[in-house]
Amino acid sequence: MEITAKLSHLRISPRKVRIVADLVKGLDVTQAEQQLMFSSRRASRPLLKLLHSATANAKNNFNLTKDNLYVFNIRVDQGPALKRWRARAMGRGAQILKRTAHILLVLASKKETAINKRKVKKQRPEVEEGLSGVSGVAPRGKTITPDKKIAIDKTDKKWASAKLRQEKKRFYTADKFKGAAQKVFRRKSV
C-alpha cells in the first residue's frame, strides 16, 4: 500500500532539495524524521513537514501506524522558475532564474497487512564454503544441488577475487569525484 503526499512550488532549487531527499529515501519514518531534524540544509524543514503530512494521511485514511512505514520513494521535479533581472555592465541586464521544486513523497508499509498482497521473495542459493563478497553467486560450470548449495573449489578463489577487483575499479572511477561541485553538493548523512 502506498501513501502519497505532495508539495508544489517550493521556493528552493530542485538540485538542493534532491540532496536532502536522497538522504531520506529508503529509511523508516522515525529514522527519516531524525535525519531531517538534525540536518542543517534549508530543504530539510519543508521535507520534514511533508513527511508529517504523509504519516497523517496514512493514519487517517488507512489506519496505519508510523512504526510500520518507510519512505518508499521521493521524487523532486522542477517547477516553474521566477524570472528576475540583475543590472550588468554597460546598461545591460542579466536574467536570474529563481527556481521552484515539486516534491512527491511516497510511503509504504513494512509489514504485510490484510489489504496488501503477499509477495514471494526469490531465494538465492547458499554457498557451502563462503568467500568474502561472493556469497550466493554460482561459479561458471557448476550446478545447484536440490538443497540449494554449491560446492566451491579452492581454485575458484581466483575467479572471485578478479570479480571483486572489477567491482572496486568501477566504484573508484573519475566520474564519482568531480571536484568543487562535488564538495558543494555533498551527500552525507548525520
> pLDDT tens across 102-154, in order?
999 999 998 765 554 444 455 665 555 544 445 555 556 565 555 655 555 55
Give the model's pLDDT for residue 116: 45
DSSP 58: H
Do 132 and 64 lie in one domain? The reply is: no
Give the model's pLDDT for residue 88: 97
For cell 527519516, the residue is 32
Do 25 and 101 lie in one domain? The reply is: yes
Give the model's pLDDT for residue 39: 94
Do 12 and 73 lie in one domain? The reply is: yes
E strand or H helix at 61: helix 44-62
- Is residue 117 assigned to a domain? no
Give the model's pLDDT for residue 180: 59
Which CATH number goes with the domain that contains 33?
3.90.470.10
Are 17 and 10 in contact, with CB atoms under 8 Å apart? Answer: yes
Regions of the chain short of the pLDDT cut 50: 116-120, 130-133
Give the model's pLDDT for residue 178: 58
- Is residue 188 assigned to a domain? no
- Is residue 182 assigned to a domain? no
Which residues face 167 on adjacent strands?
none
- Is residue 19 assigned to a domain? yes
Are 25 and 107 in contact, with CB atoms under 8 Å apart? Answer: no
Number of domains in the chain: 2
Q: What's 128-156 look like in SS3?
A: CCCCCCCCCCCCCCCCCCCCCEECCCHHH
Domain holding 166, by residue range, is 126-173
- Is residue 82 assigned to a domain? yes
Q: What is the pTM of this model?
A: 0.59
Do 148 and 70 lie in one domain? The reply is: no
CB environment 15-46: b (16+ within 10 A), e (fewer): ebbbbbbebbbebebeebbebbeebeeebbeb
- Other Cβ atoms less than 10 A from the Cβ of 70: the count is 16
CB environment 108-122: b (16+ within 10 A), e (fewer): bbeeeeeeeeeeeee
Nearest to 78 by CA among 7, 14, 5: 14
Do 17 and 106 lie in one domain? The reply is: yes
CA–CA gap between residue 154 and residue 99 (Å, rounded): 58
- Is residue 186 assigned to a domain? no
Give the model's pLDDT for residue 106: 97
- Is residue 187 assigned to a domain? no
